[in-house]
Homo-oligomer: A and B are copies of this chain.
Amino acid sequence: MKAWLSRLHTDLVTVPSSPEELARFELSHALPDISCRIETDPSMGEGYHICRKSDGSFLISGGSTGILYGSYALIRSALCEKSMPDNLSSSPRYALRMINCWDNMDGTVERGYSGRSLFFEDGHFHYDPFRMRELGRLMASVGLNILCINNVNVHFPAQLLLEDYLPEAASLADLFRPFGVRLMFSIDYSQPMRHGISTADPLDPAVQEWWKGTAKRVYNAIPDLAGFLVKADSEGRPGPFTYGRNHAEGANMLADAVRPYGGKIVWRCFVYNCRQDWRDKTTDRPKAAWEHYAYLDGQFADNVILQIKHGPFDFQVREPLSPLLLGMKKTNLAMELQLAQEYTGHQIDIYTMIPMWRELFEELPAENIMSVAAVSNLGRDENYTGHPLAAVNFFTYGLLAWDPETDTTAAVAEWARLTYIIPAEDEKKLVNLLLSSRRVYEKYTAPLGIGWMVTPHDHYGPNPSGYEYDMWGTYHKASHDAIGIDRTASGTGYLNQYPEYIQKKYEDPGTCPDLYLLFYHRLPYTFRMKDGRTLIQRIYDDHFEGYYDVISMVETIHDLPFPNPDRDVIRERANRQLHNAKEWCDIINTFFHRLSGIEDEHGRIIYD
């Protein structure tokens, strides 16, 4: 068994017939000395109640999957040597706790850093049933319940998941069902046009009929399919705009088709002008999602969920919460996170996300956010996540999707305890290292919320002006004296998309939190930060500190008694992270030194 399951189980050699059977299997193997009973109460759904009886035995009651989640919770407590619960009721904060795999049927994974697809190869389904069961347990053990298996960019032949490959897809759904995991498919909005229909216009009756017929066929094969995930009118994908329809019209048509079966349409809100002219100052990409969707609030069907990236750009190290997540009160929303470390180190650099997520969840309103989704960081590598320590992101994502108030340190410590049996002192070092890793990565990469100083396309390593004259709308406009885009009311007006209390927090550079400073403001390098340093000095300091922090991290990594094979992989990647951090530190500092001509006050080496 892999990742945090390593201490949990012996192998599961067949697919269990139900979540309850799986729960019994897991409990009996993981807690052989503890008597546990389970009691199904369908009314409890995914929730569970754990009750310790006077004889020391436990009763776990819940819905079918609730029992499974309760069992895993109990097992995790026991294996982590935490105090066992006497009376614990728990139910998930978010109904849909989704993993989005960006797997292509040719076996590649878009933005994948853990090897090839777990599901596909060479245009076909191709998977190891054992690893599928392992994946089911990885998900169930942390309460994740939806798995979208194919890339939101639907490349042929992924359309065949709804057609010729449907029987195989149904077999996979059968395999995951006992783990409480329901499948979802990313669909191609223009798919009716593969079948003799001349349009994909959502208001065209033939199109509507095609989708209704398709939904019927698909749900006949997979009755509990969670629904369809759609990336429409984005980065070259087809969508309703082609036919002069808005996205409510586009999504609702699909929603009608899947409604009879309880299906959802998860509609991604990643629409922006990806052919922007860098000279154009009237367009500001972070404003795009709001502009495309906010006016449609209230017009989406009740089984449509808008899936909104957590920030207004695209998974940068530091972005504010997307205003769209705050502004559509009459629409079902999901927040989209990214476990895959696209801009955050490619699972070479250590980057533990839970501190970032906690910041996001704290700002997220409770009412209409019903779901969370995360782009998968899994692949066919033996350890699933490429970097063994990247598994902490999958694990803690599950815990937060269940309960966003989960204690950050406790969650990471739980992952560490389940994954490695190492001395308490070392475990503490590991947990601290993981918890600090996001801030460390942030320090040695792009400064103070500016983002995008990354190698174009690949997104690993520094390239300060790589996107500066390109069409992606991600400009910093650094000049000899200043950097940044003014996104306040006096600038692009992006900040106006937020409620007033947020506008107030960020609109004045004198009080705007440092780490968001260059996201919202254009400032001279001589700007005085709250601590008295100049902006340019703060940039130099952060980058040197970040690099020095990585030196320490790597020393710690080399000292920690990881078991093999993880040890070798972790050490090798730590050395690559060290190289990467040095590149970032030197290149970013040189870039700003060349631009500004201002020396580092501490006389550290900045290369010409």
A residues lining the B interface (CB < 8 Å):
278-279, 281, 462-466, 469, 477-481, 583, 586-587, 590, 593-597, 607-608
Contact = CB atoms under 8 A, between A and B. Distances in A.
A17 to B, nearest CB: 51
Given A465-B464, A469-B462, A587-B469, A594 B478 contact: yes
B481 A597 contact: yes
A597 B465 contact: no
A595 B586 CA distance: 19
- Which of A481, A590, A596: most chain B CB closer than 10 A? A590
A279 B607 contact: yes
Given A595-B479, A595-B595, A469 B279 contact: no
Contacts of A595: 479-480, 594-595
Contacts of A479: 593-595, 597, 608
Nearest to A470: B463
17 contacts: A278-B607, A279-B607, A281-B608, A462-B469, A463-B469, A464-B465, A466-B466, A469-B583, A469-B590, A477-B594, A479-B594, A479-B608, A480-B480, A480-B595, A480-B596, A480-B597, A481-B597
Report the copy number of this chain in the oligomer. Answer: 2
Contacts of A478: 594
Contacts of A607: 278-279
A589 to B, nearest CB: 11
Nearest to A483: B594
Given A477-B594, A480-B597, 8 more contacts: A279-B586, A463-B469, A464-B465, A464-B469, A466-B466, A479-B595, A480-B595, A595-B595
A348 to B, nearest CB: 18
A600 to B, nearest CB: 15
Contacts of A593: 479
Contacts of A597: 479-481
Contacts of A469: 462-464, 583, 587, 590
A481 B608 CA distance: 12
A586 B597 CA distance: 24
A593 B469 CA distance: 14
Contacts of A590: 469
A26 to B, nearest CB: 51
Contact of A477 (B278, B463, B480, B608): B608
A595 B469 CA distance: 15
Nearest to A465: B465
A12 to B, nearest CB: 45
Contacts of A481: 597
A578 to B, nearest CB: 15
A608 B486 CA distance: 13
A278 B481 CA distance: 25
Given A279-B586, A464-B465, A480 B608 contact: no
A459 to B, nearest CB: 15
A555 B210 CA distance: 51
- Which of A281, A583, A590, A594: most chain B CB closer than 10 A? A594
Contacts of A465: 464-465
A608 B608 CA distance: 25
A580 to B, nearest CB: 13
A314 B181 CA distance: 56
A606 B281 CA distance: 13
A540 to B, nearest CB: 16
